[in-house]
Structures are given as structure tokens and as C-alpha cells.
Chain A
Amino acid sequence: MNKLFSTSDRDNMLEGVLDWLDSNMEKFQTPAEDSITGIPPENIKADLSRKALIELGLALRLAQRSFVLKKHPKIEKLKQAWISIVNSQNFFFDSRRRIQLFPHRVVACSVLKSFGINEQEVSNDLQTVLDRGYLDRVERSAWDKLDMKYYIEACDLKHSFSNNDDLLLNSSLINLPKLSYIQNMDLYGLTHLLFHFSDFGSVDMKQFLGVHYEDVQKYVDLSTSMSIIKQDWDLTAELLINQFCLRKQFTEIDRDIASTLCKSQQTSGFIPGRDWVKQRQDGKSIEENSPLFDDVYHPTIVTLILLDCEFINN
């Protein structure tokens, strides 16, 4: 047992997050893909609504690894709602041409697979796109490559990306940028590398990172301390997920940070983003200070992923 949260904190937080997601499900609606016409398919770009749906899918995919969460009625309800959006919006429409939407589509395909749904035609289309020899060959950062590769492999598709050992050599994990100058986006790069190299804790990172393990662990610890001072709940939750990725034996410090994150949760269940905090400081009433979906959905979903990890590991 290696618990990050107390049982009551964990359970209350989970119920709150699931309730908020349930009551905001209509905001995860993506555009009806077959209604977007009149522009070349190659020029259609991913937008925030597709991103939000995909991220929710990720959290639900990971929840399938926990016996308790898989059976949770609220998770099941969200799962059905998610599938319903994918179907009703014809999410995989024209996958062979809309290549800028490929990263989202391959994630969606892996999410369906985790639900036991095998969309063979979608898989075939995505494989054809990869076989055309473009997407896995253009210049990308190790972070981008690994993000895409992880979900391509989760869909059992073939690709020509380098193996993880080679990607590691080209990543910032073995040459960590100085924290004194770090930008938030750099830290998101780090968190994603750890999510996907470790498959959210399934891979032994001590072995994978070798001599770099201790440095990465210290770096994640210090980054987490910094993000909690900034009251950046989104980054805090991502970095705590990284602690699961690194299979850290939790300390008093980690539990204190997790407990503070827990206290940030609002009555309706969402985890605040910075814009919401600013509004609150401006003295707006609770009614006026209704959360902006774009601001709070991400920290809330990331917290669900963190809770997934807590359930999977305990």
C-alpha cells in the first residue's frame, strides 16, 4: 500500500470530480465532423472541444485499469456519454485526409479499445495514414513523438518512430533544464514524457531511467513544491501523477501537497484554474463566479487521472 490520499479525501474528491463531469457533459460535445466542409480536409485543425473530449477519454481509459473504478456507476455513465459523443459527432469522419486530427483520433481509438470496442475500419484508416510515410517521419520533439507513439501502440498500429530508449536519449529527461528558467510548457513536456514512458506507472522507471532516475525524482519533487506555491492545481496534479509514474514511496511532503490539492476542490466538484482564482479575488459572488469550462476542465480531468493512479496502485 502506498497511499497518497486519505481514504475519505480520495473518495470525496472522486465523487465531486465525477459529479462535475457528469453535469458538464454537454460541454464536451465536439463539432459534428461531417458538417465541416468547404475547406481542404488537410487544413482542419484540432480545437479545444476535441482536446477536452480526448482528455476525458484518457482519464476514463486509465480508470478501466482499476477494478473499483471500472465498476463505478458514475464512471460507467461518463463512459457511455463519451461513446455517445464519438458516435453522434462522427468523430472519425474522413480520417484518411484530416491528418491534423490524427493525434486525437488515435487517442480516441485507444480509449474505445480500452472499453472493449474495436473499430476495425477506424484502425485500418489510421494504419493507412501511418503507412503513407509522413506522420511518423516529420520533425517533432521527443515529447510529441512519444505522445503519438504511445497511443499508436495502444491501438496496435505499426509505425516507424524510434524505440523508447532512443527517444529518452533525445528527451529533456536526461539533460534536465534548469528550474530557475523553466516555463510551464517545459514542465508539461516533462510530465507527458513520464506519463508515457512509464505507461502511467506500469513500467519500472528506475530501470528505464537508470543513472538518471534520482535526478528526475528530485526534479519532480522540487517542481511539485514550486507548483503548489504558485497554487497551480493543474500542474500540481500532473506532477503528482508523475510520482506514481516513478513509483515513489510517498512522503509526508507528497501527502501534504495532495491534501492541499484536495482542499482546492469546489463544492460542485471542479478543481480551479488560475482564471477562476482571479475572478474570485476580484470579489465576485459565488453565482457570478461560475467556473469557465475552458479554465477548469483540465485541472479537473487531470485530478481524475491522479485518482485513477491512486486506485490502480492501492
Chain B
Amino acid sequence: MEKSIKKIIEKLYSWIRSNNAIQQSDNVIKVLALLKLITLIDKNRNEEEIKFIQNFIRNNNPIDYRSESLFNCILANSLILDFGSIGQIEAALEYSSILYEIKDANPNSVNGVLLNCVFDDDENDKNEISPLNFKVPLFELDIIKMINNVLTQIEMKSKFGTCEVEYNPVFNSKIEGMAIHAMRLYDLELAMRSLRALNYLECKESLAIQTGVDFIIHQQCTDGSFGDFETAFSEVKNEESGENTIFQIKLETAIQVLWTLYEVTNDKNNLISQIFNSHKHFNQIKT
């Protein structure tokens, strides 16, 4: 598995590097986020690759964190803490300080939970075990919405897998069913979320996860990107910013894929808690 993931990463890396759209300002955070995930999964980057990352950060400095998902911003910020120059790191720390300040502003939102996981300073909360429940509705046509709601519940209560949750095997089997359903719909984001949620429930031996990993691996295209969207893209392709739209979707898909692969193929490796915990600089913010 490790070998095939290494190969996947190599192909994906060359896809990013060969794509001119990476320099477009609205793609910068996504590219940084993806590079962070790549370096997290495969730590052995050669000098030339490190140089590419450093140049990319330099060419796009200062980083504009607005209009991007918090998750991607956190990843991008972390990459700068890893590879940035002293000046760039200072700016990244400044952004982190802002996040730290607002982390309790909305603790019951997904972003609030995400920030609390990243800053990881509420040990008391982690001792509280939240129960997870779900009853299959009898006649619900909007199955995707139903699945999204359950997945949000798991992400929030397990704090993205950083704390224990209480559930029974019945609950577990429903999430497995959801993951397969999402794959059959070719809803990649939903499929990835479902697989990560299963991982938060510690179902590593599950056939659904095995099926999911195999599914993900086979979604890589010849150019190294992920997802077969040819039909969907044929409509936007000829629009003025069509190519960039396609690139952005592909970037987002790749982020989801790597996030999922990182979590489901590593023992007890939770991405969220890994991102910042590794940064010595980051502890300075807390003090």
C-alpha cells in the first residue's frame, strides 16, 4: 500500500507542477494546502522539490487567506510554517494568532470545532464521550442531505476523530452503507467524508474502507489529478474561465483524496491534530 501511495503522490505532484494555473491568485491557497498534504504523506522531498515549494510561497507572498475554506487555510498556513522564510513564518504566525483568538467565537459550528481541534487545548472536553445516533428515515428522498447531516454529526462530536465517541455496531454499519452509496453516486466529496467518518469510528478493518481505498486509488487520471468529470466539464470547458474552474475542482478533489488517504491508511493518524502539533513555533501562540 505504501508503495502505491508513494506512486500516487509522485503523479499528483507532477500534475501540480506542470499546471500553469497554479499561479492564479484564486488557486494559491488550494495549491499550498495540497502541497502540505503531499509533504505530510511523503516526507521525503528532494532538494529540487523543496525549492519549488519555497519559490511558490515566495512568488505568492503575502498570502491572502480570504475566500477560502478554513481547512485549506489551515493547511496552507502550516506549509508556510514548514518551508517559509523567517519573514513569511512571522506572517503565518500572525494569521494563526488571529485564528486562535476567534477559536471560541462559534464553538458549535464546524469551523469552531475545527479550530478547537487544531489548537487542541481543551483536554477536559476530550474526556466527555458524545453519543452518536441515527435512525434511517423511512421515506426520505434527499439521501445526500441525510448523509451530510450524519457526517457533520460525526465530525462535530468526534472533533474530526480527535476524541472518543460512543456508538453501537448498528450506527457503524449505516455509515458503511453511506460510504458505498456515495461511491455508487460518484459523489467523491461525500464518499471521502464518509470514509473519514468511518475512520473516526475506528473501523479500519471494514470492507467499506477497503473498498473505499481501492476506489480512491483507481480515480487517479493519467495526468495525475483525481476524478473522472469529463461529461460534467464538457459544459464549462469552453467558458472564458472554464479551464481554471476545472483546475479548482480538481485541486479540491485532490485535497479531499489525500486527506482521506492520509487518515485511512495510517494507524491512529488524525490529520487535524497532526497539522499543527508538529510545529514548535505554534506553541508560542498558546503561551
Contact = CB atoms under 8 A, between A and B. Distances in A.
Interface stretch (B22-30, B175-183, B268-276): B175-183
A129 B215 CA distance: 46
A286 to B, nearest CB: 13
B136 A229 contact: yes
A50 B161 CA distance: 53
Interface stretch (A155-163, A200-208, A215-223): A215-223
B138 interface: yes
Interface stretch (A2-10, A38-46, A252-260, A298-306): A252-260
Interface in A273-313: 277-278, 280-281
A178 B208 CA distance: 10
A138 B183 CA distance: 36
Given A180-B180, A229-B147, A252-B168, A281 B139 contact: yes
Contact of A179 (B136, B138, B169, B180): B180
B212 interface: yes
What's the interface size class on A, roughly?
Answer: 20 to 34
A225 B180 contact: yes
Given A231-B138, A252-B168, A252-B169, A219 B207 contact: yes
Contacts of A230: 143, 181
Given A218-B207, A251-B169, A225 B177 contact: yes
B2 interface: no
Nearest to A276: B139
Contact of B138 (A182, A218, A224, A264): A264
Contacts, number: 80
A179 B211 contact: yes
B183 to A, nearest CB: 4
A181 interface: yes
Interface in B163-218: 168-170, 173-174, 176-178, 180-181, 183-184, 191, 207-208, 211-212, 214-215
Interface residues of A, dominant DSSP: helix
B173 A253 contact: yes
Interface string B136-175: 1111110100010000000000000000000011100110
Contacts of A180: 180, 183-184, 191, 211-212, 214-215
Given A180-B214, A221-B173, A229 B141 contact: no
Contacts of B141: 277-278, 281
A199 B268 CA distance: 44
B138 A225 contact: no
Contacts of B207: 179, 218-219, 221-222
B139 A231 contact: yes
A272 B139 CA distance: 9
Contacts of B139: 231, 264, 272, 277, 280-281
A225 B174 contact: yes
Contacts of A178: 211, 214-215
Interface in B75-103: none
A263 interface: yes
14 contacts: A178-B211, A178-B215, A179-B180, A180-B180, A180-B211, A221-B173, A224-B177, A226-B180, A226-B184, A228-B174, A228-B177, A253-B173, A260-B138, A272-B139
Given A218-B207, A226-B177, 5 more contacts: A222-B180, A222-B208, A229-B147, A231-B137, A281-B139
